[in-house]
Chain A
Amino acid sequence: MDPLAGMDDSSTDDETASQTTEDDPQVPEQSHIPPPAPIVPLPPPPQPAPSTSAPQRERPHYQQRHILRGHTKSISAVKFSPDGKLLASCGAETVAKLWSPETGEFIRNLAGHTEGLSDIAWSSDSLSLATASDDTTIRIWDVETGVTRKILKGHTKWVFCLNYSQASNLLVSGGCDGDVRIWNVARGKCMKTLHAHLDYVTAVHFNRDASLIVSCALDGLIRIWNTSNGQCLKTLAEGHDAICQHVQFSPNSKYILSTAHDSAIRLWDYQSTRCLKTYTGHVNAKYCISACFSVTGGKWIVAGSEDHKTYIWDLQTREIVQVLEGHQDVVVAVAIHPIQNMIATGSIDNDLTIRLWTDRGRGLSA
């Protein structure tokens, strides 16, 4: 079932990379991990009929399942493939790594960049992976063979973030030169350069039909762009000294979710420029920390934190419903499995692990 099983693993230049640990000695209270069991189609457990009067909400019950060791420098991004079969991660070393979310096994390295990596993105067919590197290029990889299909050159400084469009014919990237570039994936050529910001562009994201791009930068602004003509449609400025770190459209593209350095995550209605929800309680004042929508079970917002924890909020009530502890350093990267109740988190300097957390279904909302 693993598409890469049995493939030549000659690119595994890092022998220690394939080690996975099923228990974590450092976190004894969460060390009880049952042997790997097929967790794919978990039928939702029989739920008592939700009483209409009781306002108590379902809570998630994520538990640590795997620790993925192998990165030797700070992790910058983790992403599940859209079909859920692979997990890709990257960090300050020059390779991107592929893992099996099912077993936690290391699968292969994607080696070719000459500098560290800041971001990765999957094409919607899960066959290609794009990586953004400090060597100013973006590489598009054939995941099955591990071969570089395209090298996208154009950015004049480090490439910091990137994302595919839903149709995967376009790629958008943001660089430390303040530019946002739109790429033609089939040709590997830059179609458009938007001089979008005056500082590092820290996140870029397409909406569902790829008609809009949202970007944010260390200049503190969130901007929305018309993909077809490159015009700026709107600028959202977060209040005061809240410099936005990460921004993305909601799954239906009606809202955007932003994380900012005032330790707040905000959900915006970008049409009316209104902040609809604010999620607080975590610590975020220094690092670029991403947040995620989780819609496989209940509706949660998930984000890392500088207090080494990962926080899960209820989308509607804005309450913290679970805190995942285990990492030994700042959790900067977080990703949500597209089908199962699974979270991947990645940490930096003193930790360098990726942890996979699963919710076995007790907390599924009806």
Chain B
Amino acid sequence: MNEALINPFHTLSHPTSIQTTLPAAALFAKFDPSGRFLATGRHNGAAEIWDLETKNDIRCLDGHVKPVTSVDWSRNSRYVLTSSKDWNIVVWDLASSCDPPQRYSTLRFDAPVVSASFHPKNSKIILALLTTGEAYLCDTRKGSKSRTQLHEVVDGERAGADSGSSRRSYMTVARFDPQGKYIFIGTSSGTLLVFRTRTKTMIARHKISGANVMKGLEFTRNGHRLVTNSSDRTLRQFILPSYAHLETPTTSTPTTAPHSPSSSPSPQPPPTQEIWEQDLEPTHRFNDPINKTAWHAMSFSPDGEWLAGGAADSAAHKVYVWDLSNDGQFVSALDGGREPLTHLHWHPKKSITASTTNQGNIHIWHCPNPERWGAFAGGFEEVDENVEYEEREDEFDIEDEAVLLERKMKAEEEDVDIDTIAVATSPPSNEPAFSKFNTSKAGTPAPNGDTTATLGTTPQDGLGGTGRSDSPGDMAMHVDVSIDPDALWAEEDPDDDVPGGWRMKVLMEDTDDSDDEHDKVGLTMIIS
């Protein structure tokens, strides 16, 4: 709505400097989907909600007795989930007017929880990963209450059979894709397992050569690309293949043809029950060639054109930024001082990142616009350099006032719209599944234009084949989405987190220090 005024060229640059530092005593900090709040997890088991506009902590969610390991926001920010080493996941309802907010529900496990996340379409479905290397999909909806362990299916074995469990690898990271259709799980043996959320069955396994233990997964907002962090100190970006051909047999035949890439071991798509084994080749590898630092976290910009990586440097706070629209070129290493970085998250809409230090401070990075002094003078426009002025033919002609007035009146005939709110102002996550595919901020409304356009024309190894064959795949997914059984399944028995359905109540802090502080100010003035 106001982007044009604040940022006339609609470019989303990367943040360059620290705007402010929040003394949050946090282990990590995560923006909510609207971008107004930041949720932090603390070592003492508490989680805090910070208001980015006032830079205030506005809620304290105190429900764990051991450190918080992850937080997640529901799609309209009403519910917050915290997972902890105390074996619990707690869901909080921020719409409750009491402070501290009441817990909405608690899930208890038999081991410390490493991470947990909400299903992107329904906060009643929760994915949890335990320190034992097991992942669970918890459906807390009334009709379908269940807790299902996600089993990796190893060679020659059917789902559910327990033999050969020793060959299974530990699950080290688990995430929903942005549509919630699939669950991606990274393992300790450098593989990426794909599960279908609705059926909770494994559908694909991707071997990532050289990756070793998987440490992190991040998706672009449209779900086309994925970046992984692994113990070989490398971030890899992949273009995700389409899994549409692993659908039910009825739809598999027409959609699969473009999907069996030449590199696939089996030229024919596997039947539904079998696992699609395919090696994924990264389009880009990002690492630090000099210091060989590992990465703690990485985050895509909202438009997917930038990637920020938080370096696991023990003596410095470094955020590396790569330009994905420019073939993944390294852009800069942002220096955030001496407190080492532990976590990094990019704002869902703006060129703002939050990086957490090991001292618990949260740096908010932004991209400062230079002050435009011309803005202070009405009717003036700044030009970059001198321009020779060319007078219009009739510029200084004297016109009849009546004609002028008439022209003005005519110009004012046009109808104005004062109360319709443009759709673009609502966060994209509110939109139905189908349009969500198209809301990529990269300005490429064509459904298959995103991957090719943003990644440039000279991709690295392996992309040529995958990238091109992927485009028709997107089309297939589009057709699929409109009658998507997965979305229907997820949106059954929805949560109360409707767009605009709640408001974060402003709680006024009862600090009657306004007078005291006034006195203090007076005192210091006297002293100085």
Contact = CB atoms under 8 A, between A and B. Distances in A.
Contacts of A188: 508-509, 511, 514
B54 interface: yes
Contacts of B232: none
A226 B6 contact: yes
A280 B225 CA distance: 56
Interface stretch (A99-107, A207-215, A327-335): A207-215
Interface stretch (A8-16, A23-31, A249-257, A346-354): A249-257
Given A124-B503, A235-B377, A252 B511 contact: no
Contacts of B419: 250-252, 293, 295, 299
Contacts of A252: 417-422
Interface in A172-227: 184-188, 191, 207-212, 221-224, 226-227
B372 interface: yes
Given A295-B419, A316-B416, A254 B1 contact: yes
B332 interface: no
A286 interface: no
A184 B54 contact: yes
Nearest to B57: A186
For B5, B6, B376, B418, the residue with the greatest tally of chain A CB atoms inside 10 Å of its CB is B418
Interface in B428-443: none
Interface string B47-66: 00001011110100000000
B4 interface: yes
Given A170-B54, A187-B56, A207-B2, A315 B416 contact: yes
A351 B328 CA distance: 71
Contact of B511 (A170, A187, A233, A234): A187
A268 to B, nearest CB: 10
A209 B69 CA distance: 32
A324 interface: no
Contacts of A33: none
B508 A186 contact: yes
A316 B414 CA distance: 7
A267 interface: yes
B142 interface: no
B160 interface: no
Contacts of B415: 316
A50 to B, nearest CB: 16
Contact of B418 (A208, A235, A293, A318): A293
A64 interface: no
Contacts of B55: 191
Given A169-B54, A211-B6, A250-B419, A273 B506 contact: no
Interface residues of A, number: 61
A231 B508 contact: no
B378 A167 contact: no
A153 B514 contact: yes
Interface in A136-181: 140, 149-151, 153, 165, 167-170
B368 interface: yes
B274 to A, nearest CB: 49
A39 interface: no
Contact of B507 (A186, A212, A223, A267): A186
B326 to A, nearest CB: 27
A125 B505 contact: yes
A233 B508 contact: no
A282 to B, nearest CB: 17
Given A150-B514, A231-B369, A253-B2, 13 more contacts: A128-B506, A153-B514, A169-B58, A186-B51, A186-B54, A187-B509, A188-B509, A188-B511, A221-B378, A229-B368, A254-B418, A254-B422, A276-B412
19 contacts: A123-B506, A149-B508, A170-B54, A186-B51, A186-B56, A186-B508, A186-B509, A188-B514, A212-B5, A222-B378, A223-B376, A224-B5, A231-B372, A233-B6, A234-B5, A235-B376, A237-B379, A276-B416, A318-B412
Closest 5 CB pairs of A and B: A237-B378, A250-B418, A235-B378, A251-B419, A184-B54
Interface of A: 123-125, 128, 140, 149-151, 153, 165, 167-170, 184-188, 191, 207-212, 221-224, 226-229, 231-237, 250-255, 267, 270-271, 273, 275-278, 293, 295, 299, 315-316, 318
